Amino acid sequence: MLNISSPQICIGITPSSIAIARVTGILRKSNQIVAEKMLPLDQRGVLKHLCDQLTALLKENGLRNASAKLVISDALARFWMVQPPLNASTMSDLQAATAARFQTLYGESPSQWTIQADYQHDRPYLASAIPSAWLEAIEAVKRDFHMKINEIAPQSVVAYNRWHHLLQAGSWLVNHQEGKIAIAITGEKKHIIGYRHIQCRSQDIADESSFTYFLRQQALLMSIPLSNIICFPNLTHELSWLKFARAGQPNYRVLQKKLFDNLKTVSSGVDLALTGA
Amino acid sequence: MTRLHIDFSQPTLSQIVHRGGWRFAIAATLLVLILAGAYGAIVFLNIKIQSLEDRLAELNQQAMRTEKTHRKEVSKPPVANQQAMLAMMAQLNLPWAQLLKMFDSITSKQVALLEFMPDSSTRTIKIFAEARNSAQMTRYLETLKKQENLVNVRLIHHEIYAADKLNPIRFEFEVQWVTGGAP
């Protein structure tokens, strides 16, 4: 049931941190980080600890009956592109092809995973999977706090849906988080035509030339031209050189920098919470 | 350009509202306005239809009243007209051919019929005629009396026509005709 008086929150979950942003306003939204928790090193990435911390944060802030959006780190999800089979005629054909592609790429049965995809019958589409155990744990928290979950999606998907109108055809949507780079590559009609989530070293992101070199390597691997690099707003903190990036090839552009301008300390969970807020 | 439809949550109504945001609010407002407009239009049309039905019923009643009056006028023509019409019908229904044939067969060259005035209401014919002399006149009237279809042959008036040098007799008489029975 609709309840417009319930608090609107956005929860960011990464393997190492959890953050909750409160969203206010309808036409002109504003957001505020109300809770943030970094996990100890030995608890990072463990589902039970993440759920415990999330429960504790919700309880501390009295966020019962909230209307929530969950942004999950790309690191906790899996992504792959699927070429729809030529003889696919129904949605179940596409679902079967997506599951088969998952099995081929990751070498394991998809039974323990929940798969969602932007199913298309006429062009390659992006698919994503999250361990079913994660979704069950989130469902349990939702029940305990009488929450309404409006969306559960990985950060790249949330960012693309939020900012796709700012992208140009052929843009690369780039995010860096906890030592990994997520790259979503758009095609002529700004559809996603490729996705990569790869480990990077600290020297790869140290300055503009190193980062550009790193991205050019990826472009060569995928045989895709490198043109506009659209960076997530949180990268202005992580990649400080972005402020001084020169115009040229490729062009660097940061999405909605002001979103993070007033934040002094930012954990990766806050990035996610603000991306969705 | 569309969004990526990747969402691991269970679809709910609040989710649709959340995703729609202000667009949903506008769409919902528009929907409410459209529904309210449609309801208003239906109510207005109902009232309009009702008033039109009332007006139609009123017109029907008026038409029925007018028709009744008209029928009265049509069914009850003035008595004089009616009588004139009946008289005309009776005149038209006279057995002209039969009467003329009969008079033609009995009228000799000594008698000439000048005027022939039938009255269908009394089945009487008033006739003006001219004869050479009184004997011819008497013979002619006797012949008429012998006719089966003619009764009550009555001489009304006779005189010698002095303006003519042959001094013929002009006479007026009437007869009643019968059609297979009593007059």
Q: Which residues of A touch B12 (CB under 8 A)?
A: 148-150
Quick one: B167 and B129 in the same domain?
A: yes
Residue B1 lies in a domain: no
Quick one: B67 and B114 in the same domain?
A: no
Last residue of a domain, one of B49, B76, B103: B76
Query: Is residue A242 a contact partner of residue A252, using CB atoms and an 8 Å limit?
Result: yes
Task: Please state the pTM of the whole predicted model.
Answer: 0.62
Q: Where are the domains of chain A?
A: 8-75+131-157, 77-130, 165-258
State pLDDT tens for residues A153-208.
Answer: 999 999 898 888 888 888 888 888 878 889 999 988 889 999 998 888 888 888 88
Position B25 scores a pLDDT of 78
Q: Which residues pair with A126 in a beta bridge?
A: A81
Query: Is residue A211 a contact partner of residue A189, using CB atoms and an 8 Å limit?
Result: no
Q: Which residues of B touch A128 (CB under 8 A)?
A: 6
ipTM over 0.85: no
Residue of B nearest to A150 (CA): B15
Q: B114 lies in which domain range? A: 94-177
Position B95 scores a pLDDT of 76
Tell me if the bond preceding A85 is cis, omega within 30° of 0. Answer: no
Quick one: B66 and B116 in the same domain?
A: no
Last residue of a domain, one of B48, B76, B104: B76
Q: Which residues of B touch A8 (CB under 8 A)?
A: 18
State pLDDT tens for residues A222-267.
Answer: 888 887 888 877 666 667 777 766 666 677 877 766 666 666 556 7
Least confident range of A71-75, A131-135, A138-142, B178-182: B178-182
Quick one: B102 and B170 in the same domain?
A: yes
How many Å lie between the alpha carbon of B29 and the closest alpha carbon of chain A? 14
Mean pLDDT over B147-154 rounds to 86
Tell me the CATH number at B170. Answer: 3.30.1360.100
Quote the tokens at residue B131.
């004869």
Residue B158 lies in a domain: yes
Q: Cβ separation of B4 and A148 shorter than 8 Å?
A: no
Quick one: B99 and B164 in the same domain?
A: yes
Q: Which residues of B touch A148 (CB under 8 A)?
A: 12, 14-15
CATH number listed for the domain at residues A8-75+131-157? 3.30.420.10
Residue B89 lies in a domain: no
How many Å lie between the alpha carbon of B11 and the closest alpha carbon of chain A? 8
Of 3.40.720, 1.10.287, 3.40.630, 3.30.420, the CATH number of A165-258 is 3.30.420
Mean pLDDT over A25-53 rounds to 79
Quick one: B52 and B115 in the same domain?
A: no
Quick one: B56 and B118 in the same domain?
A: no
Give φ, ψ of A118 to 5 degrees: -90, 70
How many Å lie between the alpha carbon of A44 and the closest alpha carbon of chain B? 22
Last residue of a domain, one of B76, B105, B123: B76
What is the number of structural domains in chain B?
2
Residue B29 lies in a domain: yes
Q: Which residues of A touch B17 (CB under 8 A)?
A: 2
Q: Cβ separation of A116 and B6 shorter than 8 Å?
A: yes
A233-265: burial string, b at 16+ Cβ within 10 Å, e else:
bbbbebbeebeebeeeebebbbbeeebbeeeee
State pLDDT tens for residues A49-78.
Answer: 888 889 999 999 888 888 899 999 998 999
Name which of A67, A152, A192 is nearest B14 (Cβ-Cβ).
A67
